[in-house]
Every structure is written in structure tokens, then in C-alpha cells.
């Protein structure tokens, strides 16, 4: 192929491509260039806006002092929620949210879920109180169950007014996680009664204001409580009867002069932790003295001084006589109502009375059983006597019949 032929073919391809390309009039190229530059500048501005968006948002928040706290929406449509704004110019609300101390939330007993053994947690009871390592699991779980307002409704005066079906449901919920005997049910119900009362007390202290109006207290409803239950509680807390009872309890509380250092741990758990049975005097000293040996308050020190003086006086009178130190301690400390003795097991005398009642019932059943056995034995003796008499009568009459037969022959 010659160079001339190649050139012809090349020219044909070039002319074909030129025919396919759109023809531009003068000025269109500059217009396209301007459009491309405009689009490029817009894209750059858009990228810059996206990159700087957090900084601009923070700047807006700092300038306008908007309160970024979550707002709780109330169900009362007649009273819309109030929005609060930060008034201090020196510190923004955003920074105050960051610096605010995080409060502890409600317990969900997660440790029990982590350590949950197969078959449930074994709980041991002593004098009506759980003891051992698993005691705290049960105590915490009771609080978790009671926080559900549908398990234990709050629109009743006390625990005893709750329907028995709901109590049985709570009992079954606890038995799903703990190995509990039917003999433990009464003790668990006592624990539920105490925690239910404490829950109402804490709720009243946190959400109810006696100086506020009825509508203000209604609007200050706890988040997890149904509106009808909270309304009932507000009306109950505002009643004259409850106010009188509250004033009376405050007066009684102010008269209590003796404190202890055990916290929320029960006396039974303290005794169990010690691993040995303590006398009343030693236990009082354990629960009413500080770690450095000082007494927690003056009344505790005075009671122990009086106790030691009484012991020394009785020993001086007659050293040969055995002294019941626990009895002397009870006399000095004094017995409170409902069988509770200061510094001793809670409701100790009630437990002793219950134990005595159980022993009396067992003894009565034993006596009834023995009487039944004695009656059966007496009946058997009478039956045997009658049988022997019948046999004796038959034996004695047989020779007489033989004599009659021989005489006739």
C-alpha cells in the first residue's frame, strides 16, 4: 500500500469523526468553561460545609445557649412541658451537660445474671432472714421485681392490700431464679413487705412536694409509674389521714437516740459473717461501735457502762451464783414494742414465740397420735379378751355334751 492510499484513508477517518462531533458556535466554549468552574466551586463549598458542620453546630449551641438536656414529655395534655434555658452567660449548657456528675441508675441485678447457676441460686435462711453469699442476690432481686408497677401496684395503702394472686406471681418469679422452699415463703413475704414500704417512702421523698399544688405534683410523675397509680398516690399523700400519720412518724423518729453501724446488712448476716454465736453484749458492741473502737453515740456508751456496772455489782453480792449476762443486757437495754430488743435480733421474741407455738403444735399432734395408738391398743385388748372368753366357753361345754351322749346310750 502506497503512502498516498494511507493518507486518503486517514483523511476519511478524520472527516468522519469531525462530522460526528457537535459543532460549536463562537462563545459556547467559554460558556461551558464558566459552568464547569461554577460547579467546581459549588462542590468545594459543599465539601467545606460538610467538613465544618460539627464546628458550626457547636458554635450555634454556644451562641444561643440552648439547653441540650433531654426533655421528658408529660402525658397531661392540659399542661405542656416547660422548656428551660440556661441563663448563665459564663458557662454554656453544653459544657454543663458534660461536667454534670452521672447518677447511678436503678439496679437490674446484672451480677445475678452473670453468676446465675444452673437450677437456681440456693438461699439459706436463719431466724427469718437470708444469710450467706446468696443473700444479697435475693435482696437485690426483690427490689428489681417490685420496681415493676404491674407486679406490685402502688395504688394501695400497704403490702397487705395487694391481691394474693399478684403476691403468688411474685413468689413464682423469685422461684425461677432461686431455690426456695414453701417454708421460706412467709419470710420472703416479710422482705417484700419491707421493701414495698421503702419504695413508697423513697418515691414520696423524691417526687412528691407537700408544699406544691395538686396539679404540680401530678405533673411530676415518675417515668416508670402509670398515670392512674401516681394520681392515686398523690391523692393518698395529700389526704389528712396520711398527713397525721406522717407527722406522728416524724415525731417518733426524732425520739430515736441510738444509732448503729451495720448499714443495710441484717443482724443475722452479721452473726453469720462472724462464724460464731455472739453474746448480746458482744453483738451490741459490734453493731454500735466504730472501727477505731469509739462508740457511735453517747446512749450506746452509757448503756454499756450501765451493763458493766450491773455485772460487777451482782458479782460482788454473790460470786458463787451464775449470772445470765443476756438477761441483764435485756433488762438494761429495755424491750421495745412488737418484741424488738435494741441491739439484738429483729423481732427476736416474736421468733421465739413462733418457735414455741410450732413446738406446741408438734407436741399436740404427737399426743393425739399417741392417744390414737392407745385407743387402738385398748380395742385390740378388748377384742382378744372376747375371743378368749368365747374359746373358753366352747371348751368347757364340750365334756358336758359327751356325758349326755353316753348316758342316753
Q: What is the pLDDT of residues 15-59, one digit of tens each?
A: 444 444 445 555 555 666 667 677 777 766 766 655 454 444 333
pLDDT score recorded for residue 75: 40
Name which residue leads in pLDDT, 22 or 143.
Answer: 143
Nearest-angstrom CA–CA distance, 386 and 391 = 9
pLDDT at site 321: 65
- Specify the DSSP element, H or E, that contains 184: none
Residue 341 sits at φ, ψ, to 5 deg, of: -110, 130
Q: Which of 9-13, 82-86, 270-274, 302-306 has the lowest mean pLDDT?
A: 82-86
Position with higher pLDDT, 183 vs 47: 183
Look at residues 226, 85, 211 and name the one whose alpha carbon lies nearest to residue 154: 226
Residue 352 has pLDDT above 90, yes or no: no
pLDDT score, position 309: 80
Q: What percent of the chain has pLDDT over 70?
A: 53
**Whether pLDDT at 313 is above 50:** yes
In the beta sheet, which residues pair with residue 267?
none
Is the pLDDT at 168 greater than 90? The verdict is yes
Report how far Cα 183 is from the mean position of its chain's Cα atoms.
Answer: 21
Identify the top-confidence range among 151-155, 290-294, 372-376. Answer: 151-155
CA–CA gap between residue 148 and residue 25 (Å, rounded):
80
CA separation for the pair 170, 185 (Å, rounded): 11
For 78, counting Cβ atoms within 10 Å of its Cβ (0-12 exposed, 13-18 middle, 19+ buried), the class is exposed
Question: How confident is the model over 70-97, as pLDDT tens digits?
Answer: 434 344 433 433 333 333 433 444 444 4
Highest mean pLDDT among 7-21, 113-127, 270-284: 113-127
- What is the rounded CA–CA span in Å between residue 78 and residue 286? 56
Query: How high does pLDDT run on average in the chain?
Result: 69
pLDDT band (50, 70, 90) for residue 230: very high
Segment among 57-71, 188-202, 272-286 with least mean pLDDT: 57-71
Q: Please, are residues 208 and 236 in contact by the beta-carbon 8 Å criterion?
A: no
pLDDT at 340: 46
- 144 vs 278, residue with greater confidence: 144
Residue 268 binned pLDDT confidence (cut-offs 50, 70, 90): low
Q: What is the pTM of this model?
A: 0.46
Q: Confirm if 345 and 127 have CB atoms less than 8 A apart.
A: yes
Question: Grid coordinates standing for 8?
Answer: 486518503
Average pLDDT, integer, range 335-350? 48
pLDDT at 353 over 80: no
**What is the pLDDT, as a whole number, of residue 272?**
62
Percent of the chain with pLDDT over 90: 19
- Quick one: pLDDT band at residue 164, thresholds 50, 70, 90? very high
Q: Report which listed range, 100-114, 342-356, 370-384, is most confident.
A: 370-384
Distance CA 21, CA 36 (A): 20
Mean pLDDT, rounded, for 215-241? 93
Q: How far is CA 394 from CA 388, 398, 399, 403, in A?
A: 10, 7, 10, 15
User: Residues 62, 92: contact at Cβ < 8 Å?
Assistant: yes
**Of residues 16 and 161, which shows the higher confidence score?**
161
Amino acid at each position: 500500500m502506497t503512502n498516498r492510499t494511507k493518507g486518503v484513508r486517514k483523511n476519511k477517518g478524520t472527516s468522519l469523526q469531525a462530522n460526528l462531533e457537535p459543532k460549536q458556535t463562537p462563545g459556547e466554549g467559554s460558556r461551558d468553561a464558566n459552568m464547569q468552574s461554577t460547579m467546581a466551586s459549588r462542590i468545594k463549598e459543599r465539601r467545606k460545609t460538610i467538613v465544618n458542620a460539627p464546628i458550626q453546630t457547636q458554635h450555634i449551641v454556644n451562641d444561643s445557649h440552648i439547653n441540650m438536656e433531654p426533655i421528658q414529655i408529660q402525658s397531661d395534655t392540659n399542661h405542656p412541658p416547660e422548656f428551660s434555658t440556661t441563663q448563665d452567660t459564663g458557662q454554656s449548657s453544653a459544657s454543663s451537660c458534660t461536667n454534670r456528675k452521672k447518677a447511678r441508675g436503678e439496679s437490674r441485678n446484672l451480677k445475678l445474671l452473670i453468676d446465675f447457676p444452673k437450677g437456681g441460686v440456693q438461699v439459706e435462711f436463719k431466724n427469718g432472714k437470708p444469710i450467706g453469699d446468696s443473700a444479697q442476690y435475693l435482696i437485690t432481686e426483690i427490689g428489681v421485681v417490685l420496681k415493676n408497677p404491674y407486679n406490685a401496684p402502688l395504688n394501695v395503702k400497704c403490702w397487705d392490700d395487694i391481691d394474693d394472686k399478684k403476691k403468688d406471681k411474685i413468689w413464682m418469679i423469685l422461684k425461677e431464679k432461686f431455690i426456695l422452699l414453701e417454708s421460706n415463703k412467709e419470710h420472703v413475704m416479710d422482705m417484700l413487705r419491707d421493701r414495698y414500704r421503702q419504695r413508697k417512702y423513697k418515691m414520696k421523698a423524691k417526687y412528691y412536694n407537700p408544699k406544691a399544688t395538686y396539679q404540680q405534683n401530678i405533673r411530676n410523675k415518675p417515668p416508670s409509674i402509670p398515670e392512674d397509680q401516681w394520681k392515686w398516690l398523690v391523692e393518698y399523700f395529700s389526704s389528712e389521714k396520711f398527713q397525721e400519720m406522717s407527722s406522728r412518724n416524724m415525731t417518733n423518729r426524732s425520739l430515736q437516740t441510738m444509732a448503729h453501724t451495720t448499714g443495710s446488712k441484717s443482724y443475722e448476716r452479721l452473726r453469720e459473717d462472724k462464724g460464731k454465736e455472739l453474746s448480746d453484749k458482744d453483738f451490741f458492741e459490734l453493731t454500735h461501735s466504730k472501727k477505731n473502737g469509739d462508740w457511735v453515740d453517747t446512749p450506746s456508751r452509757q448503756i454499756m457502762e450501765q451493763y458493766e456496772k450491773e455485772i460487777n455489782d451482782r458479782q460482788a453480792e454473790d460470786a458463787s451464783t451464775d449470772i445470765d449476762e443476756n438477761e441483764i443486757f435485756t433488762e438494761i437495754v429495755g424491750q421495745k414494742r412488737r418484741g424488738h430488743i435494741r441491739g439484738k435480733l429483729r423481732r427476736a421474741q416474736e421468733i421465739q414465740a413462733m418457735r414455741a407455738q410450732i413446738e406446741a403444735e408438734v407436741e399436740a399432734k404427737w399426743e393425739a397420735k399417741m392417744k390414737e395408738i392407745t385407743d387402738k391398743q385398748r380395742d385390740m385388748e378388748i377384742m382378744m379378751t372376747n375371743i378368749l372368753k368365747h374359746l373358753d366357753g366352747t371348751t368347757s361345754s364340750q365334756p358336758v355334751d359327751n356325758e349326755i351322749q353316753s348316758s342316753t346310750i
